[in-house]
Amino acid sequence: MLAIDLTGKRALVAGVSDDGGFGFAIAKALAEAGASVCVGSWPPALGIFQKLLERGKMDDSMTLSSGRKLEFERIYPLDAAYDTMDDVPDDVRESKRYKEQGDFTIAGLTARIRDDFGERGLDVVVHSLANGPEVKSPLVDTSRKGYLAAVSVSAYSNVSLVRHLAPLMRPGGNFLSLTYMAGERVIPGYGGGMSSAKAALEADTRTLAYEAGRRWGVRVNAISAGPWASRAASAIGFIDTMITYCEANAPLPRRLDASEVGGTAAFLASPLAAAITGSVVYVDNGYHAMGMAVPPPAAG
Protein backbone atom coordinates (compact mmCIF):
# COMPACT_ATOMS: atom_id res chain seq x y z
CA MET A 1 0.00 0.00 0.00
CA LEU A 2 1.37 3.40 -1.00
CA ALA A 3 0.79 5.71 1.96
CA ILE A 4 1.63 9.28 2.89
CA ASP A 5 4.08 8.92 5.74
CA LEU A 6 5.50 11.99 7.46
CA THR A 7 6.70 10.16 10.55
CA GLY A 8 9.73 11.94 11.99
CA LYS A 9 9.01 15.16 10.08
CA ARG A 10 8.39 18.52 11.73
CA ALA A 11 6.06 21.11 10.21
CA LEU A 12 5.40 24.75 10.92
CA VAL A 13 2.02 26.09 9.85
CA ALA A 14 2.10 29.87 9.92
CA GLY A 15 -1.32 31.43 10.30
CA VAL A 16 -3.41 29.29 12.65
CA SER A 17 -5.54 31.04 15.26
CA ASP A 18 -8.67 28.86 15.26
CA ASP A 19 -9.97 25.58 13.88
CA GLY A 20 -11.97 27.03 11.00
CA GLY A 21 -9.45 27.72 8.26
CA PHE A 22 -7.30 25.92 5.74
CA GLY A 23 -4.25 26.36 7.98
CA PHE A 24 -5.81 24.25 10.72
CA ALA A 25 -7.02 21.65 8.21
CA ILE A 26 -3.48 21.36 6.84
CA ALA A 27 -2.00 21.09 10.34
CA LYS A 28 -4.43 18.29 11.13
CA ALA A 29 -3.69 16.42 7.89
CA LEU A 30 0.07 16.65 8.48
CA ALA A 31 -0.46 15.25 11.98
CA GLU A 32 -2.62 12.45 10.57
CA ALA A 33 0.33 11.53 8.35
CA GLY A 34 2.62 11.34 11.37
CA ALA A 35 4.31 14.76 11.44
CA SER A 36 4.81 16.83 14.57
CA VAL A 37 3.23 20.23 14.08
CA CYS A 38 4.10 23.70 15.33
CA VAL A 39 1.98 26.73 14.52
CA GLY A 40 2.53 30.46 14.27
CA SER A 41 -0.40 32.52 15.52
CA TRP A 42 -1.19 36.23 15.16
CA PRO A 43 -0.50 37.91 18.54
CA PRO A 44 -3.89 39.68 18.87
CA ALA A 45 -5.63 36.30 18.48
CA LEU A 46 -3.09 34.14 20.29
CA GLY A 47 -4.51 34.51 23.80
CA ILE A 48 -8.02 33.50 22.76
CA PHE A 49 -6.64 30.60 20.70
CA GLN A 50 -4.67 29.26 23.66
CA LYS A 51 -7.66 29.57 25.99
CA LEU A 52 -9.86 27.64 23.57
CA LEU A 53 -7.27 24.88 23.50
CA GLU A 54 -6.77 24.84 27.28
CA ARG A 55 -10.51 24.73 28.01
CA GLY A 56 -11.17 21.92 25.54
CA LYS A 57 -13.39 24.03 23.31
CA MET A 58 -11.66 22.63 20.23
CA ASP A 59 -11.43 19.01 21.35
CA ASP A 60 -13.83 17.71 18.69
CA SER A 61 -11.93 19.32 15.84
CA MET A 62 -8.59 18.29 17.38
CA THR A 63 -9.51 14.58 17.36
CA LEU A 64 -7.62 12.58 14.74
CA SER A 65 -8.94 9.52 12.91
CA SER A 66 -6.98 7.26 15.29
CA GLY A 67 -8.87 8.74 18.22
CA ARG A 68 -5.85 10.52 19.63
CA LYS A 69 -5.84 14.28 20.01
CA LEU A 70 -3.80 16.63 17.88
CA GLU A 71 -1.28 18.40 20.07
CA PHE A 72 0.79 21.27 18.75
CA GLU A 73 4.45 20.83 19.58
CA ARG A 74 4.90 24.60 19.87
CA ILE A 75 2.66 27.64 19.45
CA TYR A 76 4.66 30.70 18.45
CA PRO A 77 3.51 34.32 18.26
CA LEU A 78 3.94 35.58 14.70
CA ASP A 79 3.07 38.81 12.96
CA ALA A 80 4.40 38.30 9.44
CA ALA A 81 4.09 42.00 8.63
CA TYR A 82 7.48 42.44 10.31
CA ASP A 83 10.83 40.86 9.50
CA THR A 84 12.63 42.15 12.61
CA MET A 85 11.74 44.12 15.73
CA ASP A 86 13.33 47.19 14.13
CA ASP A 87 10.39 47.18 11.69
CA VAL A 88 7.73 47.26 14.42
CA PRO A 89 6.15 50.66 15.19
CA ASP A 90 6.20 51.79 18.80
CA ASP A 91 2.42 51.67 19.15
CA VAL A 92 2.40 48.01 18.14
CA ARG A 93 5.31 47.16 20.46
CA GLU A 94 3.47 48.71 23.41
CA SER A 95 0.08 47.19 22.61
CA LYS A 96 -1.08 44.89 25.41
CA ARG A 97 -1.52 42.05 22.94
CA TYR A 98 2.06 42.32 21.70
CA LYS A 99 4.37 43.54 24.43
CA GLU A 100 4.33 40.30 26.45
CA GLN A 101 5.02 38.11 23.43
CA GLY A 102 8.74 38.72 23.02
CA ASP A 103 10.03 38.80 19.45
CA PHE A 104 6.99 38.02 17.29
CA THR A 105 8.63 38.87 13.96
CA ILE A 106 9.76 36.41 11.29
CA ALA A 107 13.35 36.73 12.53
CA GLY A 108 12.13 36.12 16.08
CA LEU A 109 10.21 33.03 14.98
CA THR A 110 13.33 31.74 13.24
CA ALA A 111 15.44 32.23 16.36
CA ARG A 112 12.90 30.40 18.53
CA ILE A 113 12.74 27.44 16.15
CA ARG A 114 16.54 27.25 16.07
CA ASP A 115 16.70 27.38 19.85
CA ASP A 116 14.02 24.71 20.23
CA PHE A 117 15.08 22.27 17.53
CA GLY A 118 18.62 23.12 16.43
CA GLU A 119 20.06 24.11 13.09
CA ARG A 120 18.28 21.42 11.06
CA GLY A 121 15.03 20.75 12.83
CA LEU A 122 12.40 21.63 10.24
CA ASP A 123 10.93 19.81 7.23
CA VAL A 124 7.73 21.59 6.17
CA VAL A 125 6.63 25.23 6.26
CA VAL A 126 3.08 26.23 5.35
CA HIS A 127 2.24 29.87 4.65
CA SER A 128 -1.43 30.31 5.54
CA LEU A 129 -1.27 34.08 5.95
CA ALA A 130 -3.29 36.85 4.36
CA ASN A 131 -4.45 40.31 5.30
CA GLY A 132 -6.19 42.93 3.20
CA PRO A 133 -7.29 45.86 5.37
CA GLU A 134 -9.24 47.32 2.44
CA VAL A 135 -10.44 44.04 0.92
CA LYS A 136 -14.00 45.36 0.58
CA SER A 137 -12.82 48.29 -1.56
CA PRO A 138 -12.54 47.95 -5.36
CA LEU A 139 -8.93 47.88 -6.49
CA VAL A 140 -9.28 51.26 -8.19
CA ASP A 141 -10.35 52.80 -4.87
CA THR A 142 -7.68 51.09 -2.77
CA SER A 143 -5.16 53.36 -1.09
CA ARG A 144 -1.42 52.90 -1.54
CA LYS A 145 -1.16 52.00 2.15
CA GLY A 146 -3.91 49.37 1.91
CA TYR A 147 -2.48 47.88 -1.27
CA LEU A 148 1.04 47.60 0.11
CA ALA A 149 -0.27 46.12 3.37
CA ALA A 150 -2.10 43.40 1.43
CA VAL A 151 0.97 42.52 -0.64
CA SER A 152 3.29 42.70 2.38
CA VAL A 153 1.47 40.17 4.56
CA SER A 154 -0.16 38.03 1.88
CA ALA A 155 2.80 37.65 -0.50
CA TYR A 156 6.11 39.13 0.64
CA SER A 157 5.92 37.32 3.97
CA ASN A 158 6.28 34.05 2.05
CA VAL A 159 9.52 35.30 0.52
CA SER A 160 10.75 36.21 3.99
CA LEU A 161 9.77 32.84 5.47
CA VAL A 162 11.69 31.02 2.74
CA ARG A 163 14.77 33.20 3.24
CA HIS A 164 14.76 32.81 7.01
CA LEU A 165 13.63 29.19 7.41
CA ALA A 166 15.11 27.33 4.44
CA PRO A 167 18.54 27.20 6.15
CA LEU A 168 16.88 25.34 9.05
CA MET A 169 15.44 22.62 6.83
CA ARG A 170 16.59 19.06 6.56
CA PRO A 171 17.10 17.47 3.11
CA GLY A 172 13.81 17.20 1.25
CA GLY A 173 12.33 20.25 2.94
CA ASN A 174 9.44 22.05 1.32
CA PHE A 175 7.36 25.19 1.49
CA LEU A 176 3.67 25.53 0.69
CA SER A 177 1.40 28.56 0.45
CA LEU A 178 -2.31 29.15 -0.18
CA THR A 179 -3.53 31.19 -3.09
CA TYR A 180 -6.86 31.84 -4.82
CA MET A 181 -8.28 32.14 -8.32
CA ALA A 182 -8.48 35.94 -7.98
CA GLY A 183 -4.74 36.03 -8.63
CA GLU A 184 -5.34 35.14 -12.27
CA ARG A 185 -8.98 35.97 -13.05
CA VAL A 186 -11.34 38.72 -11.98
CA ILE A 187 -13.42 38.00 -8.89
CA PRO A 188 -15.59 41.13 -8.49
CA GLY A 189 -15.56 42.26 -4.87
CA TYR A 190 -12.23 40.64 -3.98
CA GLY A 191 -10.49 43.96 -3.65
CA GLY A 192 -8.07 45.98 -1.60
CA GLY A 193 -5.06 44.69 -3.53
CA MET A 194 -5.68 41.09 -2.49
CA SER A 195 -5.97 39.93 -6.12
CA SER A 196 -2.58 41.54 -6.78
CA ALA A 197 -1.15 39.87 -3.67
CA LYS A 198 -2.29 36.43 -4.82
CA ALA A 199 -0.84 37.04 -8.29
CA ALA A 200 2.46 37.99 -6.66
CA LEU A 201 2.34 34.92 -4.42
CA GLU A 202 1.95 32.64 -7.44
CA ALA A 203 4.71 34.35 -9.42
CA ASP A 204 6.98 34.20 -6.38
CA THR A 205 6.26 30.49 -6.02
CA ARG A 206 7.89 29.83 -9.38
CA THR A 207 10.87 32.09 -8.79
CA LEU A 208 11.43 30.86 -5.24
CA ALA A 209 11.25 27.25 -6.43
CA TYR A 210 14.22 27.97 -8.68
CA GLU A 211 16.23 30.16 -6.32
CA ALA A 212 15.61 28.25 -3.09
CA GLY A 213 15.87 24.92 -4.90
CA ARG A 214 19.33 25.78 -6.20
CA ARG A 215 20.51 27.39 -2.96
CA TRP A 216 19.04 25.09 -0.29
CA GLY A 217 17.56 22.12 -2.15
CA VAL A 218 13.99 22.80 -0.95
CA ARG A 219 10.72 22.68 -2.87
CA VAL A 220 8.21 25.54 -3.11
CA ASN A 221 4.58 25.04 -4.17
CA ALA A 222 1.15 26.64 -3.74
CA ILE A 223 -2.40 25.37 -3.47
CA SER A 224 -5.12 27.38 -5.18
CA ALA A 225 -8.13 26.45 -3.07
CA GLY A 226 -11.75 27.08 -3.80
CA PRO A 227 -13.70 29.43 -1.50
CA TRP A 228 -14.22 28.31 2.08
CA ALA A 229 -16.18 30.08 4.82
CA SER A 230 -13.38 30.50 7.34
CA ARG A 231 -13.58 33.31 9.86
CA ALA A 232 -10.91 35.23 7.98
CA ALA A 233 -12.64 34.79 4.61
CA SER A 234 -15.86 36.17 6.07
CA ALA A 235 -14.17 39.59 6.06
CA ILE A 236 -14.61 39.64 2.29
CA GLY A 237 -18.32 40.12 2.87
CA PHE A 238 -19.75 37.84 0.16
CA ILE A 239 -18.08 34.53 0.85
CA ASP A 240 -21.40 32.64 0.79
CA THR A 241 -22.06 33.94 -2.72
CA MET A 242 -18.61 32.81 -3.83
CA ILE A 243 -19.16 29.34 -2.40
CA THR A 244 -22.61 28.96 -3.95
CA TYR A 245 -21.40 30.16 -7.35
CA CYS A 246 -18.47 27.74 -7.42
CA GLU A 247 -20.69 24.88 -6.29
CA ALA A 248 -23.08 25.57 -9.16
CA ASN A 249 -20.43 26.02 -11.84
CA ALA A 250 -17.59 23.62 -11.02
CA PRO A 251 -17.23 20.33 -12.93
CA LEU A 252 -17.84 18.62 -9.59
CA PRO A 253 -20.95 20.49 -8.39
CA ARG A 254 -20.42 20.21 -4.67
CA ARG A 255 -18.93 22.23 -1.85
CA LEU A 256 -15.25 22.04 -1.06
CA ASP A 257 -14.22 20.64 2.30
CA ALA A 258 -11.17 22.03 4.08
CA SER A 259 -9.91 18.50 4.69
CA GLU A 260 -9.45 18.10 0.93
CA VAL A 261 -6.99 20.99 0.96
CA GLY A 262 -5.32 19.38 3.97
CA GLY A 263 -4.94 16.09 2.14
CA THR A 264 -3.35 17.76 -0.87
CA ALA A 265 -0.96 19.62 1.41
CA ALA A 266 0.08 16.37 3.09
CA PHE A 267 0.78 14.83 -0.30
CA LEU A 268 2.85 17.83 -1.45
CA ALA A 269 4.82 17.69 1.82
CA SER A 270 5.58 14.01 1.39
CA PRO A 271 8.29 12.13 -0.52
CA LEU A 272 5.58 11.12 -3.00
CA ALA A 273 5.79 14.68 -4.36
CA ALA A 274 9.59 14.85 -4.37
CA ALA A 275 9.72 16.02 -8.00
CA ILE A 276 6.95 18.63 -7.72
CA THR A 277 8.10 22.21 -7.24
CA GLY A 278 7.20 25.62 -8.64
CA SER A 279 3.60 24.43 -9.09
CA VAL A 280 0.20 25.87 -8.28
CA VAL A 281 -2.09 22.92 -7.55
CA TYR A 282 -5.82 23.58 -7.84
CA VAL A 283 -8.10 22.14 -5.18
CA ASP A 284 -11.43 23.65 -6.22
CA ASN A 285 -13.56 20.84 -7.66
CA GLY A 286 -12.24 21.82 -11.09
CA TYR A 287 -13.73 25.32 -11.10
CA HIS A 288 -10.51 26.81 -12.52
CA ALA A 289 -11.08 24.87 -15.77
CA MET A 290 -14.38 26.60 -16.58
CA GLY A 291 -14.57 29.36 -19.15
CA MET A 292 -18.29 30.13 -18.91
CA ALA A 293 -20.93 29.94 -16.22
CA VAL A 294 -23.34 27.02 -16.31
CA PRO A 295 -26.78 28.24 -17.45
CA PRO A 296 -29.34 28.14 -14.63
CA PRO A 297 -32.08 25.52 -15.02
CA ALA A 298 -35.14 26.68 -16.92
CA ALA A 299 -38.04 27.83 -14.79
CA GLY A 300 -40.59 25.10 -14.26
- Residue 224 sits in a domain whose CATH number is 3.40.50.720
Q: Give 64-123 as a DSSP string.
A: -TTSPBP--SEEEE--TT-SSGGGS-HHHHTSTTTTTS---SHHHHHHHHHHHH-TT-EE
In a domain, 267, yes or no: yes
Q: Is residue 3 part of a domain?
A: no
- What's the whole-number average pLDDT of the chain? 94
Give domain status of residue 71, yes or no: no
Is 5 a member of any domain? Answer: no
Residue 56 lies in a domain: no
Please list the active-site residues.
Answer: 180, 190
Band of pLDDT at residue 2, cut at 50, 70 and 90: confident
- Given a contact cutoff of 8 angstroms between Cβ atoms, the answer to whether 105 and 85 are in contact is yes
Kindly report the backbone phi and psi dihedral angles of residue 170, in degrees, each rounded to the nearest multiple of 5, phi listed first: -80, 165
Q: Is residue 69 part of a domain?
A: no
CB 193 within 8 A of CB 156: no
55 Cβ contact partners less than 8 Å away, ≥ 6 residues apart: none
Overall domain count for the chain:
1
Domain ranges, residue 199: 10-36+118-287
1 falls within a domain: no
Long-range contacts of 287-293 (CB under 8 A, 24+ apart): 287/181, 287/226, 287/246, 287/249, 287/250, 287/251, 288/181, 288/224, 289/251, 290/249, 290/250, 290/251, 293/249
Quick: pLDDT tens for 216-251: 999 999 999 999 876 665 667 678 888 999 999 999
Model confidence, pTM:
0.95
Residue 239 inside a domain? The answer is: yes
Q: Where are the beta strands (DSSP E) in 1-47?
A: 10-14, 36-41
Least confident stretch, 152-156, 171-175, 226-230 = 226-230
